A and B are shown apart, each in its own frame.
Chain A
Amino acid sequence: MTDQATGVAQANIPKLRVEQLHKSFGSLHVVRGVDLVVPAGSVLSIIGPSGSGKSTLLRCINRLAEPETGEIFLDGSPISRLRGRQLDAVRRRIGMVFQLFNLFPNRTVLDNVTLAQCVVAGRKRVDAQERAMSLLDQVGLAEKASELPSRLSGGQQQRVAIARALAMDPEVMLFDEVTSALDPELVKDVLDVMRQLANSGMTMVVVTHEMSFAKDVSDEVVFMDNGNVVEHGKPDSVFTNPTQERTRRFLDRVLNP
């Protein structure tokens, strides 16, 4: 019955929807009324200059930043006013990967991926480790399971962070400039994992400066500037034929530096 219900829900209701979201830090109005629609299984890339509110918007979606007004719907249910356990439960359904990885430095790679499974999902240790090993294998790091994060390269750490988020079986994955802190030659491995994930049908929101990734992998691209969505559309049209002058200038600058 629930299957049927979600089946119907998936047919009509996007996995994630953001409606007129506003967020300020003091007098700084960072997100100014943003609308987003992310259908299940699609990839949305958010591009734009630094300080345009992309990351804040992303952090509002899983409530690491508190939205002021507006609403966020996950499977059609509003989540912007949830608190306590309900909020924790929603966060479990939304995986997040951070620019600076944020791995737990005092725990091994394996423990990083198992901790929340045991503590939050209540899985048995052996089951959690089995799941962790299969995910680490998927991101190509099974042999690093017993290392501490400090022994890994940035790219490897970021792939562990992706495995850690996936271990909670999220329905949506948020990526916050996940390759910005990486040496150029390490970026590809991380993007490959993300491509793989997109192909497997994961719903993804990706804040990124990797224009080729945004162009090749996403189903929709949003260009943000100054807290507003300036332009959105299929990657082909946004990248090759932007309608807004601001978008054109931005793309010109990042694509032909």
Chain B
Amino acid sequence: MCRRQTCFARRDDVTQMEIFLEHYFDLDVMREHFDKVLQGFWITVQLSLIAGVLSMTWGLVLALCRTTRSRLLLPLRPLTIAYIDVFRGIPLLLVVLLISGSLPFIDALPDWIRAPHLLGQPDIYWFGVAALTITYGAYLAEVYRAGLEAVPAGQMEAARSLGMSHPRALWHVVLPQAVRTVVPPLLNDFIALMKDTSLVQVIGVVEVVRAGREVQGETFNSSALTLGAVMFLLVTLPLARIVDRSLNGRQQLSKGLA
């Protein structure tokens, strides 16, 4: 606040550039609220990791159901396709609101769904995780499916001709090859998921964007949000580089194969 007053007092002799810098890159604001923003970022990281692992697992289950030839699982196929279409087609924010707004009031549901309190985190935190998992599970299912379909049919045939059952052939032969093609797009989607955790703030989870916004409201200065952006980039930029590198590596591998 005091910084802002001095800013007004010296208004005439400061350049527009300095005003800009002061609004976005005020080191004092950053320093003062660093702990709060960092705490928020820690929540962002937690949400990303938990929802990341869950949606990768869920997405794989969906992809296997969608590509299954097993007669037992065949009825699940249209359901899976419908699920994927629906959740790829509606905004994550809407899913967040759907879950948090009404699940707590449906008495028929067990408590761990209605009001989850795991690992010392409140229900809104877990509603956020659920929404991210539900939506990103649908995205990732398509990524896995593309990976599975990219493995030549001859691989499955070779495995079956050796007497492997379908699940064994999937597990020992097809999936290990699919994983290689799938890692770069999975990492891309992980980056997207991490950024989308910010939507969970609308139901009250103080992740990094919410933390920055609260500081912005207090100080009329956006530097805490800039700090949040820097924290994001510290994670997302290296990840993006890893994606690039693994794509290059794969190109070299496929050239070697040709």
A106, B161: Cβ atoms closer than 8 Å: no
CB contacts (< 8 Å) of A106 on chain B: these are 176-177, 180
If the complex has contacts A115-B172, A119-B172, are A102 and B155 also in contact, measured as CB distance less than 8 A?
Answer: yes
Q: Within the assembled complex, what's the spacing in Å between the Cα atoms of A119 and B172?
A: 9
Q: Mark A87-120, 1 if CB is under 8 A from B, else 0.
A: 0110110111010101111100000000110011
Count of residues in B whose CB is under 8 Å from the partner chain: 20
> Whose C-beta in chain A lies nearest to the C-beta of B164?
A120
Q: Contacts A95-B161, A106-B176, A116-B164 known; list 5 others, CB within 8 Å.
A: A92-B162, A94-B161, A96-B158, A102-B155, A164-B158
Contact of B154 among A91, A95, A98, A119 (CB under 8 A): A98
A50 lies within 8 A of chain B by Cβ: no
B39 lies within 8 A of chain A by Cβ: no
Give chain B interface residues in 147-186, CB to chain A under 8 Å: 152, 154-155, 157-165, 168, 172-173, 176-177, 180
Closest Cβ of chain A to B69, distance in Å, is: 12
B256 lies within 8 A of chain A by Cβ: yes
> Whose C-beta in chain A lies nearest to the C-beta of B70?
A84
Query: Would you list 25 pairs from A and B whose C-beta atoms are within 8 A, ordered by A residue?
Result: A64-B161, A85-B165, A88-B160, A88-B163, A88-B165, A89-B163, A91-B163, A92-B162, A94-B161, A98-B154, A102-B152, A102-B158, A104-B155, A106-B176, A106-B177, A115-B162, A115-B172, A115-B173, A116-B162, A116-B164, A119-B168, A119-B172, A150-B257, A164-B162, A168-B162
If the complex has contacts A88-B165, A105-B257, A106-B176, are A64 and B154 also in contact, measured as CB distance less than 8 A?
Answer: no
CB contacts (< 8 Å) of B157 on chain A: these are 64, 98, 102
Closest Cβ of chain B to A173, distance in Å, is: 11
Closest Cβ of chain B to A206, distance in Å, is: 16
Closest Cβ of chain A to B174, distance in Å, is: 10
A62 lies within 8 A of chain B by Cβ: yes
B177, A165: Cβ atoms closer than 8 Å: no
Query: Which of B154, B162, B180, B257 gathers most chain A CB within 10 Å?
Result: B162
Q: Which B residues contact A (CB, under 8 angstroms)?
A: 152, 154-155, 157-165, 168, 172-173, 176-177, 180, 256-257
Closest Cβ of chain A to B249, distance in Å, is: 14
B159, A116: Cβ atoms closer than 8 Å: yes
A104, B173: Cβ atoms closer than 8 Å: yes
B161, A62: Cβ atoms closer than 8 Å: yes
Q: Within the assembled complex, what's the spacing in Å between the Cα atoms of A104 and B160?
A: 13
> Whose C-beta in chain A lies nearest to the C-beta of B256?
A150
Closest Cβ of chain A to B186, distance in Å, is: 17
If the complex has contacts A105-B257, A120-B168, A150-B257, are A98 and B162 also in contact, measured as CB distance less than 8 A?
Answer: no
Closest Cβ of chain B to A237, distance in Å, is: 33
CB contacts (< 8 Å) of A161 on chain B: these are 158
If the complex has contacts A105-B177, A120-B168, A150-B257, are A100 and B163 also in contact, measured as CB distance less than 8 A?
Answer: no
Q: Within the assembled complex, what's the spacing in Å between the Cα atoms of A161 and B157?
A: 13
Closest Cβ of chain A to B26, distance in Å, is: 52
Q: Mark A148-179, 1 if CB is under 8 A from B, else 0.
A: 00100000000001001100100000000000
Closest Cβ of chain A to B55, distance in Å, is: 25
> Whose C-beta in chain B lies nearest to the C-beta of A95?
B161
